[in-house]
Every structure is written in structure tokens, then in C-alpha cells.
Amino acid sequence: MVGAIAASMAGSIFSSDAWNNVTFIAGEIKNPKKNIGLSLFLGTLIVTVIYVCANLMYLNVLPLSGIAAAENDRVAVAAAKGIFGDAGTYVIAILIMVSTFGCNNGLILAGARVYNTMAKDGLFFKKAATLNKNAVPEYALWAQCIMASLLCLSGTYGKLLDMISFVVVLFYAITIAGIFKLRKDRPNAERPYKAFGYPVLPIIYIVLALIFCVFLIKMSPIYAGIGLGIVLLGIPVYYLVIGNQKKVD
């Protein structure tokens, strides 16, 4: 049962995964001490409300058997057909296009800034730190494009979702664990952002995240394992970059 819940949570995690992406452009946000936290809260709240409302709609339009046995796991299409008839397929297709293009626009532009900043800090390949004449991290964008294309060609949507969800939640757990280390190593550091419910809620989050990862890799060992392998592959790449950086310096 726990494994089934973990597997089913992959979709809901994906629906709100971009909650933290506003931090990618933190250096360009006005009054970041206030607006970053507010953006994170409001963005997560809005997506959560929409997601819950969508699922309530599915439950009211379709029987449980219809949700469980939806063709190609496309519950939204089955629900739309129940409401609009055959035209429901086109309604969902248009909505998916709008959502996808909007999501890609934000993720592509913001994501490249992460590699760009990492390169500036000496944590990634130096070329990614270069901006073109339009002040755009061109090399970081191309690296991101190639990696995303390879992922798109590597499996079905559901399997890729298992792979990405495993990696994302694992890193969330590591990030939250970093709060405890920073509190210990830098007790007097300025903390403009407060960890709500510290230390109880962060501990609960870490435990649940690790449970999710363990059972997801049990339910979907191939693709969750590939995700873990990609993460582990980053370790020698990291030291390769740092080693070359030290030689140059």
C-alpha cells in the first residue's frame, strides 16, 4: 500500500515541482527577503488548490473504475469526454499546449541561469558562465537543450516522471537536511527566511521524502535507478570540473 501511494504521488509532485523555481532568479527580484518567500507560498498554494479541485472534478465526473482504467492513464481526457463529448479530447489538447508552452518558457529561461551561476562560482563548466551579446547564457541553454532532448527520447512520459520525481524528492530531502547543518555550523548567520515549524516539520518532511524515494525505487526500479545513476554520475563530473578549475588557478 505504501509503495502504491508513493508511485501515485509522482504525478502530484510533478504538478507542483516548479514551486521553488523563483529562487533561480533571486538576484533579479526586488525586495527578495519579502517577495521570494511570498512567491513560494502563493505559488504552491495556488497550484495545490487547482490540483485538488481538478481531482474533485474527476471524482464527480468519472466512476473510480473509469479513473483507474483511463486509456493511457489520461484521466483528464476521459473526464473531458464525459463533459464535452468527443470534443473533450481537443479541449484538453489545447489546455495542455497552453500549460506546456508557459511552463517551458519559465523553466528553460530560469533553469539556464542556475548553470550560469554555478559556473561563475566555479562549480560547473566555465563555458556556461559566458553570456552572449544579448546577455543570455547561450552555452548553458544549449547544454540544457541537449540534456532535455536526450531525456525525452529515453522513455515514456510515466517512466520519465518516476525518474525525475525520485531525483527531485531526494534533493529536496538533502536540501532540507542542509538547514540543520547550517544552524549548527553558522548559528549566528543572518536568517531572513524562517523554517516554519523547525525542527519538527523539517524532520517529518525528510522522513516522508526518504520513504517516498525508497518505495518508488522499489515500485519502479529501472527508471528510479537511472535517476539515481545520473545523480551519482554528477559526483565525478563535479570533481573533474573543480580539479580543472584548481589547475587553471
Give the Cα separation of 216 and 213 in Å (integer): 5
pLDDT exceeding 70 applies to what percent of the chain?
92
* Model confidence at 72: pLDDT above 80: no
Q: Give 149-188 pLDDT, tens digit per residue.
A: 888 887 677 778 778 888 888 888 998 999 999 988 988 8
CA atoms of 246 and 249, how far apart (whole Å) = 5
What integer pLDDT is reported at residue 243 of this predicted model?
Answer: 64
Mean pLDDT (whole number) for 112-126:
83
Cα–chain center distance at 183: 25
What is the band of 6 on the pLDDT scale with cuts at 50, 70, 90?
Answer: low
Question: Of the ranges 15-19, 81-85, 175-179, 224-228, which one carries the lowest mean pLDDT score?
Answer: 15-19
Question: Can you spell out the DSSP letters for 129-164?
Answer: G---TTS--HHHHHHHHHHHHHHHTSS-HHHHHHHH
Whole-angstrom distance, CA of residue 130 vs CA of residue 111 = 15
Mean pLDDT for the chain overall? 82
Mean pLDDT of 115-132: 84
What confidence score (pLDDT) does residue 180 get?
A: 92
Q: Which cell is 117 given?
A: 551561476
pLDDT higher at 155 or 111: 111
Task: Please say if the pLDDT value at position 238 is more than 70.
Answer: yes
Residue entry with cell 530560469 = 110
Q: Give residue 247's pLDDT.
A: 56
The reply to whether the predicted model has a pTM over 0.85 is no
Range with lowest mean pLDDT among 29-33, 48-52, 119-123, 244-248: 244-248
Render pLDDT for 48-61 as a digit per residue (tens, 0 to 9): 898 889 889 999 98
Residue bearing the bigger pLDDT, 165 or 98: 98
What is the per-residue pLDDT for 245?
62
Q: Can you tell me the distance from the alpha carbon of 175 to that of 202, in angstroms, rounded to the nearest whole number?
A: 10
Residues above pLDDT 90, as percent of the chain? 8
- For 25-30, what is the mean pLDDT? 75
Q: Please report the sign of the dihedral spanned by the C-alpha atoms of residue 231, residue 233, residue 234, residue 236.
A: positive
**Distance separating alpha carbons of residues 15 and 47, to the nearest angstrom:** 8
Residue 7 amino acid letter: A
Contact 138, 132 (CB under 8 A): yes
Q: What is the pLDDT of residue 248?
A: 54
> C-alpha cell of 134?
544579448
Mean pLDDT of 95-114: 83
